[in-house]
Structure 1
Amino acid sequence: MTLMNYDPWQELAEMRRVFNRMFSEGFAQLPTERQAAQSGLFMPVDIAETSEEFVVTAELPGTNPDDIEITLSDNQVTIKGQRAAEQEERRGNYLRTERRFGSFCRSFALSSPVADDKVTASYKNGILEVHLPKSEGAKPRQIEIRTE
């Protein structure tokens, strides 16, 4: 029978390592995004807001624009699509394969109503840019104060 030394602080040290790693990586990625980035297609997105519009910029290199679908419903924009695997003749054995193929989907809630009839999208060099103008009622406006 072998006796093992029990260190009551070992579990606490492990928790400290987990928290240190979490803080060093930051809170920018939610667990679902991290899992998506590691296991399949992940679409990095920037969302900017001005007084006039929202601009969503997404990286989609290698994606055919015909395979991208953008929908807007209840102040939520959804970008989904599919990146098809390239049909190429394999020459030799691959030493590393990092390119991902398959479907992707991301949804984002917008803080103001959008004029859905004025939404535009463009795709150039693997970058999708969606302009979502705010509806007139959602735009900030200056209220003049009258004095008597």
Structure 2
Amino acid sequence: MNRPSYCSNRTYDRRGRAFGGPSSFRESIEETPEAFSLKLDLPGVRKDELKLEIKDRVLTLTVTPTEERAFVTASSRAWRVGPDIDAENLTARLENGILELTLPKRQPAAPETRNIDIQ
């Protein structure tokens, strides 16, 4: 499997500054003919503590804990979404500490057939 064009290994500290190193979220990526599935391990994180947004083809996930808890810290992660992804139809679901993002692939436009007048 080729590395999807939407992936970026840029991680941010709680002040929003970029730093190197691995992501603070464990992730797995699967590909089907229709979509990519990105699963993130977020144990202890509640739905109301997550913000997921896309702007200028950059998908950003921000975790903001509503209270101090062990093993849950404020963090953010961003991925560049490639042109082969249908950014208008992304979906997300949080279940049992796993956030699953579905990134559907753009379907190629069917070749347009047009009649040509013969002179």
- TM-score by shorter chain over 0.5: yes
Pairing partner for 2:62 from 57, 72, 80:
80
The structure whose RCO (Cα within 8 Å, separation 6+) is larger is 2
Contact 1:63 1:126 in 2 (8 A): yes
Counterpart AA for 1:57: K
Does structure 1 residue 56 correspond to structure 2 residue 38? Answer: yes
CA-to-partner distance for each residue in 1:36-88, whole Å, 9 max, x for gaps?
7xxxxx211222333311211101111111111112234332211123324xx
Pick one of 23, 29, 32 that aligns with 2:20: 32
Write the mapping of 1:1-148 to structure 2, written as runs, cut at 5 A: 32-34=20-22, 42-83=24-65, 84-86=67-69, 99-137=70-108
Instruction: Tell me the C-alpha RMSD between the 2 structures.
Output: 2.8
More strand by share: 2
Q: Is the Cα contact below 8 Å between 1:75 and 1:114 reproduced in 2?
A: no
How many residue pairs align between the two structures?
Answer: 93
| Structure 1 unmatched ranges of 5 or more | 1-29, 37-41, 87-98, 142-148
Taking structure 2 as the reference length, the TM-score comes to: 0.61
Q: Which structure is higher in helix share?
A: 1
Q: Which runs of 4+ in 1 moved over 4 A?
A: none
Query: TM-score scaled by structure 1?
Result: 0.51
